[in-house]
Structure 1
Amino acid sequence: MLKRIFDITASGVGLVLVAPILLPVIFLVWWHDKHSPFYIADRVGRDDRSFRMVKLRSMVINADKSGVDSTGANDARITAVGGFIRRYKFDELTQLWNVLNGDMSLVGPRPNVKRETDLYTPVERGLLEVKPGITDIASIVFSDEGDILKDQADPDIAYNQLIRPGKSILGLIYIKNQSILLDIRLCLLTVIAIFSRNKALIGVQKILQGVHAPDDIVQMALRRQPLVPRPPPGSVRIVTSRDGNPAI
């Protein structure tokens, strides 16, 4: 109940505060090709239920018909205006409506398409036990997802090998340790990441160390080493740290 009150208050205030920025950006998206500035798509939420997520459209019309779910920074489907709004995460701001509506939370694992959640291991299905969010630990760590997938022959395969395992384990760590204080810290770090990704990652490191996350996960989250393919949690033996946090 406290988390829901926080979500309603923060999303309501947030929509009012971002309106002066959001309205001109909405107009620019529409002006670019004279089509709807919104991208409304099915995502899988809590308890495996589908909902309609609202984003600002950063791609050409019917881009989702290509069958490719993951997007590299150089994806030809991204419009000129879309590249700008993706860089500054303006396309995510409309999801405050989903938070206000109760489909999402301000902080929680990012929602995925059904094609991706159908691939979840039994361990990863724990991500569907809470409402998805606009941001979380993984959103900060993998805020450069587009750059990671850039130039990949198959972005979906690259996503599942390089990003999904770490994203899932960070989501599970968040769920185990979630609190209003942690949500506030992650919201602040999300804003900091727009201006200084390094400072935001150091903040994430402190959070993970504070909940005694495994050392390999802390190092991965710092993103100082190249990402390497690894299996998703649950597809191999799961090791836990001394306080019960899951590790790959």
Structure 2
Amino acid sequence: MILRKWEELPIEMQTDEVRYYYDILCKKKLSLIMKRLFDIAASAVLLMILSPVFIILAIAIKIDSSGPVFYRQERVTTYGKTFRIHKFRTMVSNADKQGSLVTVKNDSRITRVGNLIRKYRLDEISQLIDVLLGNMTFVGTRPEVVKYVNQYMPVMRATLLLPAGVTSEASILYKDEDKLLDGAKKVDDIYIEKVLPGKMYYNLKSIEKFSFMKDIGIMFKTVLAVLGKDYVADKAGEAEFANSIEKEGLQV
């Protein structure tokens, strides 16, 4: 994994805000190489080991509801490139045309099998395919849809210096984000104005402190979070970051 030259970045990323994080990553070339080598080796091995699970989930999804096995929504990754993510389908077919692009608690679009899959985060394991292909990495900013990326403030675009991730510090601390959106009349507005800035605080902080070993640590924390362990969020840091970007006019 090698960073592009600064002048080769998309013009919207060539800002002072992004440059700060770019310069940090330029000093972490060995960790970036190790990160990609680990992604290739680990995803290939896990895909082979988990192939029986893939088959079982595929059969269960097809029996439970009509539609494809995978949910292939368009997401954004490195340098603003779009790709179609692999997620085991947990909602009715064409769910994104029947409501918000984010999922809320007790979402009526979630299927019976989908509820079980989401409970244990099994819908995410199919993203091993995306990791192997290089569209994603194990640890990095969760891939957003184009609609939300278009709302990024300049500093948020620094997260596009690295591939989108299967897990992250933000996804651990916001593992129950559907509860935060529960009951909201305008889910998309609340997500962009309230949830996204909070997650971005941790995403940017992770880039600032990036190292290969820190990535491994986040993977272990993810396993513990899935098993039920709770981690304390830095609400003061989130609030400070939210206030700083609010001055720049983050809007839907």
Q: Same fold (TM over 0.5)?
A: yes
- Pick aligned residue for 2:83 from 51, 67, 76: 51
- Pick aligned residue for 1:95 from 99, 107, 127: 127
User: Secondary structure of 1:105's match?
Assistant: strand
More displaced 10-residue stretch of structure 1: 12-21 or 90-99: 12-21
Indicate whether 1:17 and 2:28 are aligned.
no
Q: How does 1:185-204 map to 2 (within 5 A)?
A: 185-198=217-230, 201=231
CA-to-aligned-CA distance 1:64-90 (integer Å, 9 cap, x gap): 123521110211111111111111111
Q: Paired residue for 1:155? A: 187
Checking the alignment, whether the CA contact within 8 Å between 2:60 and 2:113 is kept in structure 1 is yes
Q: Paired residue for 1:76? A: 108
- Give the Cα–Cα distance (whole angstroms) in 1 for the partners of residues 235 and 167 of structure 2: 23
Q: Paired residue for 2:17? A: none
Q: Alpha-carbon deviation of 1:27? A: 1.1
CA-to-aligned-CA distance 1:177-233 (integer Å, 9 cap, x gap): 1111011111111111111232xx16xx7xxxxxxxx8823xx6xxxxxxx8x8475
Q: Percent identity?
A: 35
Question: With structure 1 as the length reference, what TM-score do the two structures score?
Answer: 0.81
Q: Paired residue for 1:236? A: 247
- Give the Cα–Cα distance (whole angstroms) in 1 for the partners of residues 35 and 158 of structure 2: 19
User: Secondary structure of 2:246's match?
Assistant: coil
Q: Alpha-carbon deviation of 1:128? A: 1.1
Q: Paired residue for 2:27? A: none
The one-letter amino acid paired with 1:105 is T
The one-letter amino acid paired with 1:104 is M
Q: How does 1:1-248 map to 2 (within 5 A)?
A: 1-66=33-98, 68-198=100-230, 201=231, 216-217=236-237, 231=242, 234-236=245-247
Bigger relative CO (Cα 8 Å, ≥ 6 apart)? 2
- Give the Cα–Cα distance (whole angstroms) in 2 for the partners of residues 48 and 232 of structure 1: 25
CA-to-aligned-CA distance 1:85-111 (integer Å, 9 cap, x gap): 111111110000000001111100001
CA gap 1:118/1:67 in 2 versus in 1, 3 angstroms = farther
Question: With structure 2 as the length reference, what TM-score do the two structures score?
Answer: 0.79
The one-letter amino acid paired with 1:111 is P
Q: Alpha-carbon deviation of 1:54? A: 0.6
Structure 2: gaps spanning 5 or more residues: 1-32
Aligned residues between the structures? 215
The one-letter amino acid paired with 1:139 is S
- Give the Cα–Cα distance (whole angstroms) in 1 for the partners of residues 51 and 243 of structure 2: 39
Q: CA RMSD in A?
A: 2.0
User: Secondary structure of 1:120's match?
Assistant: coil
User: Secondary structure of 1:123's match?
Assistant: helix
Q: Alpha-carbon deviation of 1:236? A: 2.8
Structure 1: gaps spanning 5 or more residues: 206-213, 221-227, 238-248
Checking the alignment, whether the CA contact within 8 Å between 1:121 and 1:233 is kept in structure 2 is no
CA gap 1:232/1:133 in 2 versus in 1, 3 angstroms = farther
User: Secondary structure of 2:201's match?
Assistant: helix
User: Secondary structure of 1:92's match?
Assistant: helix
